[in-house]
Structure 1
């Protein structure tokens, strides 16, 4: 299914995919999707491909052969699509069996084109709980970055210390495949920029506001009349104190970096 979504000046193409069950039957899917690659609108292709990209996309069951992944891999190479960042459950399908008989795989994915990467700061595809189905619903959300006039990325040194930093960068770098090396490097850097912006927003966004909020909440809690006799309030205060120290450290680190940048620009006039 193909539909065009337009909101004011913004226009995007959404392609919902359902792949047939055999390698031969899916060949027309890959040909049909390649036919839409001339569309220069931001495009997201999302759905059930009934196929996996590589052997790491499944667990248990029969061994995955090259014949099963070849057409999917060729399609991604020819289209230069980029897999969208995902969150939530790891696998999107299971055979609903229990224990050692359970087979799982990722046959549901979302990909975006170059125009999408240029227009939007990112897209996150959430793999939700399947409920009574054998497949997870996919929910995607996006952030429009176009209104900010291409705001440049400001890398914060403290981001490197985050526990997920290296893993996130490695996944972003390896998510892009292109037959042209220079194009591949450019696309990889674009995806890394998106991931860094998402990390900045979700992991380090507005530290000053968070420090003020936590400080006030902790103060209100400690000012309770029965605070010294209320074990639950004391436990909550300890949690708030740990959070306050965490965000205070982030805020201080960012301010130190800004101060160094100002000194490099202005020298002794800073």
Structure 2
């Protein structure tokens, strides 16, 4: 896939670049790392990352850091001290960097048989908020090095499949919901009470889907357009305060705009599955980013089979999950 690479900065331990895919127009910051061997020599590395890895744009940082971040990342040697891990941990926390989900060889083997995790690929919060995906495979070191070649696959697709029916609470506030309930719920169903309830729910779902499509499809755009119309009316009224009809239009449009904005916010709040209402400040961008983050973090890029093979095709992964749980 053709890409455009812009060189941002080069120093002894890092190469900072910006990469743009010429097909999808997706872009991100990429930093390649080779950390020096001593704590003091690595200090310029952390300064360079802090200076050139942005927090508000998607960023991928990968390479040999020559530094572990936790006790369980070294086997067969002395546990790392707080002094040894502090600089890297603090830098990653400041930049919001975390490991990409990975498969393959976790450790690098050094002289004396000590195993340590010093090769890694990490992305920041903006990566997830942008809906980007990444998966890393650490290959065996081979004969000429003790490091694992790191292959990171980017921008995989989340396949869309039929999703379970979900009832959105903001439907209840719509003027037409009670009317829909009165007209469509009393369907003629014969059978036991439990069966009649289940069957009526099943039949009513199709009416709710049609209702949702008619009244709430493209909800974010509807809310945006309603807000723009309201703003334009308010500007006109500011210049023509004697126009009573226009003031009445503003009252009606304010109700429409507030309703759509509240519905949009309720949609993302419920879909995000997290109770962060106080943090949202009545906006939806916070919840929108949560939904994107959940989707990308829950994405399964590859699956190890019992025979040792690895599958990456999404349809195959789904079939394997279904087959496994079916045969339990």
TM class, shorter-chain normalised? Answer: 0.5 to 0.7
**1:147-183 CA-partner distances (Å, limit 9, x unpaired):** x9xx799589xxxxxxxxxxxxxxxxxxxxxxxxx79
Query: Matches of 1:145 and 1:52 in 2, distance apart?
Result: 32
Instruction: Tell me if 1:35 matches 2:51.
Output: yes
Alignment of 1:179-194 (within 5 A): 192-194=294-296
Paired position in structure 1 for 2:110: 95
Residue 128 of structure 2 contacts residue 297 of structure 2 at CA under 8 Å; is this kept in 1?
Answer: no
Paired position in structure 1 for 2:141: 130
Shift of 1:80: 1.2
User: SS state of the match for residue 57, structure 2?
Assistant: coil
Query: Matches of 2:162 and 2:115 in 1, distance apart?
Result: 38
User: SS state of the match for residue 298, structure 2?
Assistant: helix
Q: TM-score normalized by structure 1?
A: 0.56
For structure 2, list consecutive stretches of 5 or more residues without a partner in the other structure: 1-14, 166-278, 281-286, 304-310
Query: Matches of 1:152 and 1:29 in 2, distance apart?
Result: 44
Paired position in structure 2 for 1:218: none
User: SS state of the match for residue 197, structure 1?
Assistant: coil
Paired position in structure 2 for 1:113: 124
Query: Matches of 2:162 and 2:125 in 1, distance apart?
Result: 18
Aligned partner of 2:298 among 191, 196, 215? 196
Instruction: Tell me if 1:3 matches 2:17.
Output: yes
Matched pairs, number: 183
Higher relative contact order, chain-length normalized (CA < 8 Å, sep 6+)? 1
The 3 A distance-change label for structure 1 pair 40 and 50 is same
Shift of 1:113: 1.6
User: SS state of the match for residue 67, structure 2?
Assistant: coil
Query: Matches of 1:135 and 1:58 in 2, distance apart?
Result: 14
User: SS state of the match for residue 37, structure 2?
Assistant: coil
Query: Matches of 1:32 and 1:74 in 2, distance apart?
Result: 14
RMSD over aligned Cα atoms: 4.0
Instruction: Tell me if 1:142 matches 2:154.
Output: yes
Alignment of 1:52-71 (within 5 A): 52-71=68-87
The 3 A distance-change label for structure 1 pair 18 and 200 is closer
Shift of 1:144: 4.5
The 3 A distance-change label for structure 1 pair 189 and 95 is farther
**1:71-126 CA-partner distances (Å, limit 9, x unpaired):** 111111111112111110121x1115xxxx41110001111122221334421111
The 3 A distance-change label for structure 1 pair 35 and 153 is farther
